[in-house]
Every structure is written in C-alpha cells, then in structure tokens.
Chain A
Amino acid sequence: MSVHVPQTGKMGTDFDTILKKYKQGKREDLIPMLQEIQELTGYLSEEAIVKVGSYLGLSTTKIYGLATFYDRFRFFPAGKIQIQVCNGTSCYLNGSQSIINKIKEETGVQSGYTTRDGNFSYEIVSCMGGCNNGPLICMNGEYHIHVKASQLPELLKKLKYIIEND
C-alpha cells in the first residue's frame, strides 16, 4: 500500500504575502487569513498569531479565543500522515467506533493531536460522503473503504516504516 507523504517544513515562511492580500485589514478578514496561513504552514504558530494580531490591531488572546472555538484550527504541526476517520451516521452504524478506538490505541493520542514522533495525526469528521462504503478512513487524501479494525495495526506499522525509511 502506498501513501503520499507531503513535504513539510515550510517553517519561517513570510506571512507578509498573505497579510498584504487583505489590504483593509478588517475584523472579518481574520478567519480567512488564519485559514490561509494554516493552509500554507500546516498550523497556526505563535509567531503567526502575533503577526496577524498586530496587523489587524487585535489582541492575541482574542485571536486565540476565536481560533480555539473552531475545531479546524491547529496550533501544532500535523503529522506526516493525517488520518481522517468518518464518523457519520452510516459509518457509525457500520462500526466506525471500533476504528476510532483502534487508532486511538495504536497512536496513543486523542483526536486532533499529533503523535510525539510527528508521524501520525488523526481527526474525526462527521461525513465524507461515501456512506455505502463505510467504515471509511482517509489518509493524506487517499480513501480506504470497508476498513476493519484488525487491519489497522499492520497498516500503521507499514506506513511508519515507509516514513522512517524515506
């Protein structure tokens, strides 16, 4: 099984290009700005939030307050392999809970967090739209259908091997 491992490490990126796009710098630009930064760097670093704050004239606590309200924002780098587990009603009825438990057990982290070695992060999403193929997981954009909990340990081990030997 192959998996696409993205090139991470766009650290120290110049956020100015993103900031400059929003010339007027209004409050309503805050969320799109944060989304763009996250898309570029993978997460919202402290540096990014401070910069956005000074650009928009907002205190960093306000920005944190807003960003933590929404669950799509991340404050630490995502894993090299990002796993999305569908927990829509259909997948739930087909047993997605056991998949989630297994991934939790294998990675040892909660949903939305990254493992200490930086290899995996996973999140639970509400519906990916493949209801007849559940339980469904998506790894870096590649879908795996009719997943069984028993397949997961081996799959994750294999992926870990691929990452570490690349």
Chain B
Amino acid sequence: MEDIKTFLVNKVLLFESDTLPPETEKKLQQVRREKPDNPVIYISSGTSSMIAGSEKTCAAIKEHIDENGLAADFVKVGCTGPSNFEPLVCIHLPGKNKLFFRNITEEKVEPLLNGVFHNDLSEEDIAGQTGTKGFELWPGIPFMDELPFFINQKRIILGNCGCYDPESIEEYIARGGYRAYAKAIRHYTFEEVCDIVERSGLRGRSGGGYLTGLKWKHALNTSANARYLICNAKESDPGAFTDRTILESDPHRLLEGIAIASYAIGAANAIIFMRSGSDHAKNRLQNAIDRAREYGLFGHNIFSSGYNLDIVIRIEPGAFVCGEETALINTLEGKRGMPRLKPPYPTSSGLFGKPTVINNVETLMNVPVIMQNGPEWFRTIGTENSPGTKVFAIAGKGRMSGVIEVEMGTPVRKIIDGIADGIREGKEFKAVQLGGASGSFLTKENLDIKIDYEALREKGIGMGAGGFVIIDENTCMVDLVRYYMEFIRNESCGKCIPCREGTGRMLEILDSVIRKPQNEESGTTLERFKGVMQLETIASVMRDASLCGLGQTAPNPFISALSNFRDEFEEHIFDRKCQANICRGLRSFSIDVDKCTGCTACAAKCPVNAIYGTRLQPFFIVEEKCIGCGVCYDICKFSAINVK
C-alpha cells in the first residue's frame, strides 16, 4: 500500500505538467479498474440503496462469490442517481461493457450471478450498459446514458458519483482528484484562486445566488489573524437529499473543494456542518478526511507550500434554522442557533468575530472542476448569468426519482417529462414544488420556465437548495400548504415576532379551513372567516418584517398556492369540500347499503357514536355528528364505506 501512496503523491499529485506520462496513465487505469482482468461486481451503497435493501444484497453477493470460489472483485460504490433502480448492481466482465441491473434484492442475487457468468441473462432486471471503445457490446441492451433519465442530464459535479469506491482515496486521485488542489497551493496565490472562481461566474447554489469568488474576496480582504471556511451540509428540508447523496458518493471531491476554498481565503480551519441522523454519510466523510490526512493533503505545511489546513466535522444538534448562516455560526459558538442581524456579514465578522465564508456543498463541489478546466470552460455551460449546472433531488409522484444534475437554462418541463418520466400511475400532473419548505409551486402553465437565477426570480421563485417535489392531481394544495406551515412553525426559533407568531397564526387559520365546525355556538365560523381574511396580510407582514430567511420565505408556499390554486382554497372555505379527499376534517362518509352486512364493527369503533343501525341490517351514518376521522372506513372489512 505504501508504494502506491508514494507513487500517487510524487508521480501524480506533484507532477508538474498537466498531462501525465503514458506509463503513469497505465498504472492509474489499473487503479480505476478500467480494464479488469477479473470480473468486477459493483453495488451502490448510499442511503437510498440501503433503504431498498442493498446491505442484504451485498451479503448475498459476498456469499455467492465465496461459495462458488469466483475470482471476482466486489466494490461498493456511491449512488448513481435513479433511486427507484436501487439496489443497483453493475457487473463488469473482462473485455465487455459494464452491465447494470436494477432492483437486485437479496433473492435475485443467485439467479443473476449464475445467469451473467453462464451467459444467460434475464431481460427484466437489466437497466442498461455503459462502455467505451474497445469493449465488446451487449447486443440489444440500451446504453445507460441514452436512457431518458440520463440523456437529459449534464453530470459534471455528480460525474464521479457511483463510479468509484468513496472509501478509496487512491481511486479518486486516479480520476484526476486533488491535482487541482495541489496545483493551487503550490502555484497560485490566494488572490489568483479567488480571481479564477470569480471569472468563472460561479454563484452560491443555496438560493441567494451571490458570486462565490466575490464572497471569498470580501473575506480575504478583511484583515484578521484567523479566517474560517464553513461548508454548510445541513440540508434538512423535507424532501431534499442532494447533499447527503454527494457526501456518501463523492466525499473526496467535496473535501478538495473545501480545501481549495480554504486556501483561497487563507483559512487554516475548515468546518463541515452536517445534519444529524445521517451516520453513513458522516462515517464516509470522516474516513475520507483521515485518508486525505494520511496522504499529506491536510495538516501542517502541506506539500512544502507553507499552507496549513485542518478540516473537522460538526454535527448539527437538531434545529432547522441552523441552516441560516448566522444561526449556524451561533451554533458553532455553542449558543442557541438563532439568527443575528446582518450586517455585519459573516465575511467581515463571522465565527468568533473572524471573517468567515459559508458555502454549501453543491457550490464547493464546483470548485475543483473550475480549477481543473478553467473559468472559460465553466462559462460555456449553462446560461450567461448563471453558468454551470444545478443539482436537484427529484421526489414525489414522478415515475423516476433520485438525485440529478441539469445544465442551467434547462426548462422545468424537460426535468419532469424527460428525467422523471412523467407521473406515476398515469395520473395528471398538478404542480412542482421547488425549494423545500419555503419554496414555491410551478404549475402546468409555467413549466417552460428555465432553471436560471434571474428567470426564476422574475416569477418570484427562489432556486432553493435542491428540493424538486412533483405533485399529482391527488394532492390537496391546502393540506400541503398546511403541512409546510406546520413544519416551519415547529422550526421557528422564536427570536422575532413576525415569524414566531405569524407561523402559529397562519397554521391556526389553515387548520380551521380544513375542519368542519364542531361547535357553531362559540362563533367558530365567524372567527374562521376573520382569520381567512387576514391570511394574506399576515403572509405579507412576515415576508417584510422577519429577521432571517426562514421567516421571510415561510409564507412562500401559501402565497404561490393561493395565486395558482385559488379555487381550491375557496372550495375549502366556502363549500367545505376537499376534492382530493385528503383533508380528513372535510371528508364525509356514507354506507353502501348493498355491501353493509350489519356486522356492527364500525358502530362500535365510532368515537362520536355517529353510526346507527340494527345488527345484520345495513347501518347508516349521521352526517351532522360525523367528524370525518375515518375509523369506520379503516375498519370495514366489506368496503361498504364510501368517502366523499
């Protein structure tokens, strides 16, 4: 192991020219397993694969290899992208193209491996093949990169995800990793690195879209005896899992990005602030840091350049608002994670009062690519004002889901129809929600809008951190807005009144909208209407007067849902009806007299005694008494209860 380390450090990382000599390349090819002598079996091992059962598949594959004495290598790689193909297994036979198999659960391992090694493939498991020149094609099998899921993407920063073993730094270096970093600290000054990134036009990927290079320069030009770089990997939006996938699949590129960024601002300390509850990602990242330290990439006087860097991981103790940069700084200082007033901005006075740059994972992932290929190359991708790509986590009701990367300027329609492959079960598309709990909805009419900071801002939509939730016709918008509002209400830190009280009041009013009046005498109906009339005012006050982004953007789902789906709100308010049958409080139940056997099960369980009847005769529900809880619906064995 020792000699490969010295080889990689001396012959690759510290090699002066950009093009490596052929014998080095040949050796690197081996490390990359490009032309294996033995069959190689790859399995994806991210969280989404683990949820789908990849651990058991792994064990089964290992057992199969041992039992049959196969001379095959077995490698755990990161996540390739399509979540609904998990567990995704890839088999590379010597001299042939790589073959991908989808949904390989434990019990499918045996027939699959037997089939592959005896040339008897079962068609239904195959996802596709990939390969380069010089390999034998598998006839009649589609290429992975021609599948609609991949052909509409431009995978630059996710390029390595799913291709290499994230626990092996050797493979990352063999793929060209850490060379940009080694070059930067040995040949460029701080300002030059800032300059390159500024010229590339890279913008912060977390919503604001501020020029990254400019931000770095602010921090660099503030005189101080210490500076900090914080990588914000705390995504806890409901329905966002891009950062976690990146951390699990390509931790080394993130570390390289962090290291270059730290160098650019002259920071000797970098902190990765991670969300809690993703131990798998944390372990991989910690392992990556340890390995990189062994290689002398971090530490004291790195590659004799005189530059010192230390990277530590800090786990967030559980508060959504910590994703806001000033709140994050408070948490790191050991205080309550409450936002501070800005200015001063963190770039002039951040962590411990020192200049601090906070970038998110996706932004930092772009940095090594820019340093490798140059700012001019980066500018050729994407649109004029928003160069580069954008990563999204597609979730919800699309046929495909997973982490994807598209070029800036891609119309939203292409993501939905192309990559996500339309809506599951042939349902009708209703909306797509960008940007998590504080994002906005895009409806059918707006799908031609392009993914671009300015184009989205014109429509009053923030880019968001990467949530992309597809919603179908069976979803009630009022209920969804209420769900987001409840989330924000729970996560509001309580420092400023517009957010703390506003979210609570809005939730109360929305709650009254999705409920039938229980007691008319106490004036609930009047209160409800008063509330409904105030909703828009509360929303606008919150947007204008809240201290931080959490409160300012909290009413976004409501505002955009109200402007796009006003009729749905009115239906709930005036007719007390929910067309999608989601709002429990507004459902009304009736008993189908033909199906009811009079078993009394529902009448016994009804919490308000709203079901009457005689044993062995059809029962009936008194609508005025019914609270719409649905207990009878769940308990009926004869599906005799209808929902309206």
| Contact status of A131 and B83, CB under 8 A, knowing A66-B336, A89-B238, A150-B634 | yes
| Contact status of A133 and B238, CB under 8 A, knowing A69-B319, A70-B319, A126-B320 | no
Please state if A28 and B244 are interface contacts (CB–CB under 8 Å): no
Residues of chain B lying within 8 A (CB to CB) of residue A150 = 634
B51 close to chain A: CB less than 8 A: yes
Closest to B235 in A: A127
Residues of chain B lying within 8 A (CB to CB) of residue A125 = 277
B359 close to chain A: CB less than 8 A: no
Please state if A131 and B239 are interface contacts (CB–CB under 8 Å): yes
Contact partner of A132 among B46, B83, B316, B475, CB < 8 A? B83
| Contact status of A143 and B51, CB under 8 A, knowing A127-B238, A127-B240 | yes
Distance in angstroms from B422 CB to nearest chain A CB is 14
Please state if A93 and B277 are interface contacts (CB–CB under 8 Å): no
Interface residues of A in 70-94 (CB under 8 A from B): 70-73, 84, 87-90, 92-93
Residues of chain B lying within 8 A (CB to CB) of residue A90 = 239, 395-396, 401, 469
Please state if A89 and B334 are interface contacts (CB–CB under 8 Å): no
B130 close to chain A: CB less than 8 A: no
User: Which one of A3-11, A31-39, A113-121 is at the interface?
Assistant: A31-39
B241 close to chain A: CB less than 8 A: yes
Interface residues of B in 379-403 (CB under 8 A from A): 393, 395-397, 401-402
| Contact status of A131 and B319, CB under 8 A, knowing A88-B239, A125-B277 | no
Please state if A72 and B317 are interface contacts (CB–CB under 8 Å): yes
Alpha-carbon gap, A73 to B315, bound state (A)? 12
A108 close to chain B: CB less than 8 A: no
Alpha-carbon gap, A12 to B390, bound state (A)? 50
Please state if B318 and A73 are interface contacts (CB–CB under 8 Å): yes
| Contact status of A88 and B52, CB under 8 A, knowing A34-B317, A72-B276, A131-B83 | no
Alpha-carbon gap, A128 to B239, bound state (A)? 8
Alpha-carbon gap, A132 to B83, bound state (A)? 7
Please state if B471 and A93 are interface contacts (CB–CB under 8 Å): yes
Alpha-carbon gap, A89 to B245, bound state (A)? 18
Please state if B83 and A130 are interface contacts (CB–CB under 8 Å): yes
Interface residues of B in 386-433 (CB under 8 A from A): 393, 395-397, 401-402, 433
Using an 8 Å CB-CB cutoff, how does the interface string of B465-481 with A read, 1 for contact, 0 for none?
Answer: 00101010001000010
Using an 8 Å CB-CB cutoff, how does the interface string of B611-627 with A read, 1 for contact, 0 for none?
Answer: 00000000000000000
Q: Which of B46, B236, B320, B395 is the most central at the interface, judged by chain A CB atoms within 10 Å of its CB?
A: B395
Please state if B47 and A130 are interface contacts (CB–CB under 8 Å): yes
Alpha-carbon gap, A93 to B47, bound state (A)? 20
B84 close to chain A: CB less than 8 A: yes
Closest to B50 in A: A143
Please state if A26 and B334 are interface contacts (CB–CB under 8 Å): yes
Please state if A89 and B469 are interface contacts (CB–CB under 8 Å): yes
Closest to A27 in B: B334
B133 close to chain A: CB less than 8 A: no
Distance in angstroms from B444 CB to nearest chain A CB is 18
B337 close to chain A: CB less than 8 A: yes
Alpha-carbon gap, A41 to B277, bound state (A)? 17
Interface residues of B in 204-255 (CB under 8 A from A): 236-241, 244-245
Alpha-carbon gap, A148 to B396, bound state (A)? 18
What is the number of contacts between chain A and chain B, taking CB atoms within 8 Å? Answer: 123
Distance in angstroms from A85 CB to nearest chain B CB is 12
Interface residues of B in 44-91 (CB under 8 A from A): 46-48, 50-53, 83-84
Alpha-carbon gap, A145 to B52, bound state (A)? 8
Closest to B399 in A: A132
Closest to B397 in A: A93
Indicate the size class of the contact surface on chain B: 35 or more
Alpha-carbon gap, A89 to B48, bound state (A)? 16
Residues of chain A lying within 8 A (CB to CB) of residue B544 = none
Contact partner of A129 among B241, B319, B334, CB < 8 A? B241
Distance in angstroms from B409 CB to nearest chain A CB is 26
Interface residue total, chain A, C-beta cutoff 8 A: 38
Distance in angstroms from B4 CB to nearest chain A CB is 33
A16 close to chain B: CB less than 8 A: no
A136 close to chain B: CB less than 8 A: yes
Alpha-carbon gap, A154 to B357, bound state (A)? 51
Using an 8 Å CB-CB cutoff, how does the interface string of A47-81 with B read, 1 for contact, 0 for none?
Answer: 00000000000000000011101111100000000
B333 close to chain A: CB less than 8 A: yes
Distance in angstroms from A90 CB to nearest chain B CB is 4
Alpha-carbon gap, A83 to B53, bound state (A)? 18
| Contact status of A129 and B317, CB under 8 A, knowing A27-B333, A31-B331 | no
| Contact status of A129 and B337, CB under 8 A, knowing A69-B319, A89-B395, A93-B396 | no
B483 close to chain A: CB less than 8 A: yes
Residues of chain B lying within 8 A (CB to CB) of residue A27 = 333-335
A156 close to chain B: CB less than 8 A: no
Please state if A126 and B487 are interface contacts (CB–CB under 8 Å): yes
Please state if A131 and B50 are interface contacts (CB–CB under 8 Å): no
Alpha-carbon gap, A129 to B317, bound state (A)? 19
A46 close to chain B: CB less than 8 A: no
A29 close to chain B: CB less than 8 A: yes
Residues of chain B lying within 8 A (CB to CB) of residue A40 = none
Give me 24 A-to-B residue pairs in the complex whose CB atoms sit less than 8 angstroms apart, sorted by A's number.
A27-B333, A28-B352, A31-B317, A32-B314, A34-B317, A66-B336, A70-B337, A71-B319, A72-B317, A88-B239, A88-B395, A89-B239, A89-B480, A90-B239, A90-B396, A90-B401, A92-B483, A93-B480, A126-B237, A127-B238, A127-B240, A130-B47, A133-B48, A149-B634
A residues near B, CB below 8 A? 26-32, 34-35, 65-67, 69-73, 84, 87-90, 92-93, 125-133, 136, 143, 145, 149-150
The 4 A-B pairs at the shortest CB distance, nearest first, are namely: A72-B318, A89-B239, A130-B51, A131-B395
